[in-house]
Amino acid sequence: MAESLYEWLTVKKGYSVFFDKKSLREGRWDKELRRQVRLCKDFLLIVDKHLFDRMFDSTYPKEEDWVRQELSEVINRGDDVVNIIPIILPKAVLPKVLPDDIGTINKWNWISIENKYDLLNKCEELKNRLHSRQTHLPDFYSKHPEMNVKPNIDDVKQILNELIQKNICFDINVSVDGYTISTK
Structural domain containing residue 148: 138-183
- Interacting residues of 80 by C-beta distance below 8 A, sequence separation 6+: none
Beta strands in the chain (DSSP E): 42-47, 83-88, 111-112, 170-175, 178-183
Average the pLDDT over 106-120 and give the result. Answer: 82
Specify whether 94 is located in the same domain as 152: no
- Interacting residues of 159 by C-beta distance below 8 A, sequence separation 6+: 137, 140, 149, 151, 181
Nearest alpha carbon to residue 4 among 66, 71, 87? 87
Give pLDDT, residue 72.
92
Lowest mean pLDDT among 35-49, 53-67, 102-116, 121-135: 121-135
In whole angstroms, give the CA distance from residue 147 to residue 136: 8
Of 4-8, 29-33, 174-178, the range with the highest mean pLDDT is 29-33
Among 112, 129, 146, where does a domain finish? 129
Specify whether 90 is located in the same domain as 150: no
Specify whether 115 is located in the same domain as 168: no
| Tens of pLDDT, residues 15-27 | 778 888 878 777 8
Give pLDDT, residue 2.
78
Model confidence at 148, in pLDDT bands (50, 70, 90)?
very low
Specify whether 112 is located in the same domain as 167: no
Say if CB 112 and CB 136 are below 8 A apart.
Answer: no
Report CA-CA distances (Å) from 136 to 35, 123, 140.
Answer: 22, 18, 8
Say if CB 84 and CB 43 are below 8 A apart.
Answer: yes
What's the total number of domains in the chain? 2
Specify whether 23 is located in the same domain as 43: yes
Arithmetic mean of pLDDT over the chain:
77
| Tens of pLDDT, residues 59-87 | 988 888 888 999 999 999 888 888 898 98
